[in-house]
Structure 1
Amino acid sequence: MAQNVFAPWDDPTETPLIQFKGVTKRFGDFVAIDNLTQDIYAREFFALLGPSGCGKTTMMRMLAGFEAPSEGQILIAGTDMAHVPPNLRAVNMMFQSYALFPHLSVWDNIAFGLKRERHTKDAVSARVEEMLKLTRLEKFAKRKPHQISGGQRQRVALARSLAKAPKLLLLDEPLGALDKKLRQDTQFELMDIQEKTGTTFVIVTHDQEEAMTVASRVAVMDEGRIMQVSTPAQIYEAPNSVYVADFIGDVNIIEGTASPSVNGYEVRWAEGHAPLVAKASQVLREGQRISLAIRPEKVSISAEKPENSVNAIEGKIIDIAYLGNLSTYHVEVAGGIMVKAQTANTRRLSRRELTWEDKVWLNWTDTAAVVLEQ
């Protein structure tokens, strides 16, 4: 049986859980969020991704109620949040520092918010046990935060945030304090917990790998604007600008001028060199300036000139980055342009054919490059 693909944003009958409508946020003369309109749906794991100062944390703080928009509206479940204080929103926020109470046990940290809402002792106990089980912390219930690891503290903070069953959980760089291996493991745990609880998660991160791993959709931000919102695969394979292509993963950018041809477009990129051939979904004018964005794994490298390749350019290996399973070759081509080609290391290092200073040929198909208008 075919599995239903989760894509409420493609369904016109779906009502968004969160709606930003023309939201602007100013701090004095500085515009942190610039006329932003965006919908986020129930059960989504939505990532706000961008460099420091792009406005992603401001967006999250406005959702939580810690900041008010200068202009525009924020709706949650159809209700305008303008005059709803943070404690009355069905929203919880998990901070990067985790903000656990050091003198309370894991059990009491998770129970804290529930006790303040005056639930019965039995109801609190049942909910805490449920959260301990969900986050696999049953064995650590009696310990204090300093007696457990960073990854376990992160799970305590998550359990405490989810205990009150919020409609929406906001996560501000939640894995920033963890080392790389633990961060990767925890990403999958987060996805698993999000799926089990059905809570809508909005995560703020500057780590593109993290956003691409956990999110159903990623919003790439720059200077208070959302540059592109789409699924991780779409953002990687079909970026809508050089900024997005460059921000997500490794990419080669080659600039040139386009001319329509029988097989798509010819792109003149270097004086005295054969034009490159690319397919484009958009219609380009004769002589229009464009950028070709080509992922390194889509570029083949060889010692001999490949036969029948539509795009073959010669260069010299300047650098090699060895990453265990992959090698990235930095190849200088005409005009001093550096192009990266990535290959899987299927053979032992001693049997490598290509090395520094070697003359090589790079080639890729006519559909490998994304054509971006300047």
Structure 2
Amino acid sequence: MDKLVQASVFAPWEDPHEAPLISFKGVTKRFGTFTAINNVNLDIYRREFFALLGPSGCGKTTLMRMLGGFATPTDGTITIDGQDMAYVPPNKRAVNMMFQSYALFPHLTVWDNIAFGLKRDKLPKDKIAARVEEMINLVQLDKFAKRKPHQISGGQRQRVALARSLAKAPKLLLLDEPLGALDKKLRQDTQFELMDIQEKTGTTFVIVTHDQEEAMTVASRIAVMDHGELVQVETPDRIYETPNSVYVADFIGDVNLIEGNATPRGDGKTELHWAEDQSPIIAECPHAPGTTARCTFAIRPEKVSIGKERPTDRTNSVRGKIHDIAYLGNISTFKVELSNGTMVKAQTANNRRIARRELTWEDDVWLSWTETAGIVLVR
């Protein structure tokens, strides 16, 4: 049974016999004296929904442009399906790109927008018609085939652009901030549609985004970038639960960060001495230093318990006063000030009506967490 469950997990990057569809080997891109991409090594596999995530200017779009053939590496090689892309122009690559603006032809109908690339390839009319109908059904726009872009919604235009990009059955689809123009509710709905379409077509998707929530939702793996370098490449759950640096922990989601001097205990746990009037924090440290070193403890607010009584079953507990409360509907975030001025956030699920909430502003409370709830980061 265990083998069947394990076999159903999609993780080709963990299979040494699986050949990547895309390989970046020592790829560097310079613009004059500025290094936009610095010695990137990365493999992306077939059927992956891969996300390049980072703030503006981190190099993610440059990396995508090189993959699409719109920019040339200064050093290193990029291969797609084993073929070196150095001298392959964009129109000869089995790659399509979907832009944030969608770039639809305003004078053409939905049907003709999707058919455009197929007509340029001079496919027989019956094959074009069959493929366009297949794509229209895939993105559920059969009732809008005769309309023009200005006659449909932003979410529908996004689906037209996606259908047009997939019509030529590329091995790889590049998506450059594809949902940036949509409002939050529509963006969330469209994320699940994208995942469903990617799974149905089996096309490898590579998405560029600065939206952490979007990357966490759609991607099989995420590459977090900073200043042209890959900081961490992992699955969303590992990026969130076991970040490899303070940068990743702080960039992905909400987090409490507490600096201190970490001393290994020899049992896989580390003691972080962080304030004179507080007990040391006991936590795991995957890359524990051999001696005492300056480190940072990171813990997500939802993993911090809050209550009026001091817990007796937790190693880690601190006392403070509620400084602020953010009510977000499904959850509430409590900002608690400790005796030394440190602010720590805790989150609780609102499974009771707000009128029955036990905690309020200025209440004295205890915060606590288990030894495995957070992580000590060396860098």
- TM-score normalised by L of structure 2: 0.97
Q: Which runs of 5+ in 1 are unaligned?
A: none
SS in 1 for 2:103: coil
Q: Is 1:72 matched with 2:73? A: no
**2:148 paired residue among 144, 151, 155:** 144
**1:277 paired residue among 270, 282, 286:** 282
User: How many equivalent pairs are there?
Assistant: 374
The aligned residue for residue 357 of structure 2 is 352
The aligned residue for residue 195 of structure 1 is 199
The aligned residue for residue 112 of structure 2 is 108
Q: Is 1:248 matched with 2:247? A: no
Q: Which runs of 4+ in 1 moved over 6 A?
A: none
Cα offsets for 1:287-346 (capped at 9, x unmatched): 211111100000000112112320110111111110101000011114322111000011
Separation of aligned partners in 2, 1:262 and 1:202: 42
Q: Is 1:10 matched with 2:14? A: yes
Q: 1:286 to 1:334 in 2, by over 3 A?
A: farther
Separation of aligned partners in 2, 1:286 and 1:77: 46
Q: Which runs of 5+ in 2 are unaligned?
A: none
Stretch deviating more after TM superposition (10-19 or 268-277): 268-277
The aligned residue for residue 204 of structure 1 is 208
SS in 1 for 2:340: helix
Separation of aligned partners in 1, 2:25 and 2:128: 38
Asked if the contact 1:270–1:334 (Cα under 8 Å) also holds between the matched residues in 2, the reply is: no
The aligned residue for residue 177 of structure 1 is 181
How far is the alpha carbon of 1:273 from its aligned partner? 1.7
**2:271 paired residue among 266, 271, 284:** 266
Q: Is 1:324 matched with 2:336? A: no
How far is the alpha carbon of 1:258 from its aligned partner? 1.8
- TM-score normalised by L of structure 1: 0.98
Cα offsets for 1:243-284 (capped at 9, x unmatched): 000010100011111223376222111012211111333333
The aligned residue for residue 98 of structure 1 is 102
Asked if the contact 2:288–2:378 (Cα under 8 Å) also holds between the matched residues in 1, the reply is: no
Asked if the contact 2:270–2:288 (Cα under 8 Å) also holds between the matched residues in 1, the reply is: no
Separation of aligned partners in 1, 2:265 and 2:136: 62
The aligned residue for residue 348 of structure 2 is 343
1:145-164 to 2 correspondence within 5 Å?
145-164=149-168
Separation of aligned partners in 2, 1:262 and 1:309: 20
Asked if the contact 1:258–1:285 (Cα under 8 Å) also holds between the matched residues in 2, the reply is: no
2:245 is matched by which residue type in structure 1? S
How far is the alpha carbon of 1:359 from its aligned partner? 1.4
**1:40 paired residue among 24, 44, 51:** 44
RMSD: 1.1
Separation of aligned partners in 2, 1:124 and 1:45: 27
**2:64 paired residue among 33, 49, 60:** 60
Separation of aligned partners in 2, 1:14 and 1:308: 46
Stretch deviating more after TM superposition (23-32 or 212-221): 23-32
1:362 is matched by which residue type in structure 2? L
Asked if the contact 2:25–2:78 (Cα under 8 Å) also holds between the matched residues in 1, the reply is: yes
The aligned residue for residue 316 of structure 2 is 311
The aligned residue for residue 230 of structure 1 is 234
How far is the alpha carbon of 1:131 from its aligned partner? 0.2
